[in-house]
Amino acid sequence: MNIKNIRKEFPVTDECIFFDHARVAPLPERVRKVVTAFVDDATRFGTVHYENWILELERTRKNFTQLINADIDEVAFIKNTSEGISIVANGFDWQPGDNIVIPDIEFPANVYPWWNLKQRGVETRMAKSVEGRILFDDLVKHVDDRTRILSISSVECNSGFRNDLNRIGTFCKEKGILFIVDAIQSLGVLPMDVKRDHIDFLSADGHKWMLSVEGLGGFYISKEVVDKIRPVTMGWG
């Protein structure tokens, strides 16, 4: 695919020079067509083609697994990054005195779910950043024998700093700490391998580099740790 064909996928290029994919990406033409086709189908036929929708849903789930190197039964759709992180925060069996370690420059999606656990006696420890960077030693020095989770962004929102997920994940694996990655700032533009990097949970909305509509994202939970999380929202669909 040449650059002219790529630009045709993005009508925004006819209007302006757009650099803000890391915030909210403009929709490509193929996404607009798929969304429009679904709305037209539901408008004209109701649920007559419901089974086709399910097939498309499963195809998209499979594509997501290939993006992060996961198995199909380890992934689910979520409405945003906060929801995925909250699934872990609210579903883990916390004990008073437990703690979580995060950098002090995380986006609110990776902060508020942990702060909310204060009422359950859980401490959120925030590692100090240096000029927008998170140094490995500054991060892990906050870990002790009551650290249950370390949560970090693959790429930091405000600085663009790319964290060394493999080094951090290996450390967490050795210490028996659950490792969570907020991948919204990199997924779709940088390689991601949850197995290689020992990632237990990954959460990402799709409206940045994955070029999705807002309100749709992907969540990963490793089969090795799924039993550690109690579902807090029950229902169907």
Q: What is the rounded average pLDDT for all residues in the chain?
A: 96
User: Over 90: is that where the pLDDT of 233 sits?
Assistant: no
User: Over 90: is that where the pLDDT of 221 sits?
Assistant: yes
**pLDDT of amino acid 234:** 84
Task: Write out pLDDT tens, residues 30-56.
Answer: 999 999 999 999 999 999 999 999 999
pTM to 2 decimal places: 0.94
**pLDDT of amino acid 20:** 86
Split at pLDDT 50, 70, 90, the class of 237 is low
**Mean pLDDT along residues 86-103:** 98
How many percent of the chain have pLDDT more than 70?
A: 99
CA-to-CA separations, 85 to 31, 105, 217, in angstroms, rounded: 26, 16, 12
Task: Write out pLDDT tens, residues 122-158.
Answer: 999 999 999 999 999 999 999 999 999 999 999 999 9
Which residue ranges form the domains of the chain, and what is each CATH number?
A: 3-48 (no CATH), 54-228 (3.40.640.10)
Task: Write out pLDDT tens, residues 182-213.
Answer: 999 999 999 999 999 999 999 999 999 999 99
Closest CA to 74 of 179, 193, 163, 200: 200
Cα separation of 113 and 104, whole Å? 14
**Mean pLDDT along residues 7-15:** 93
Asked whether 218 and 95 are in contact (CB, 8 A), the reply is no
User: Over 70: is that where the pLDDT of 181 sits?
Assistant: yes
Angle in degrees, CA 131, 134, 136, rounded to 5: 140
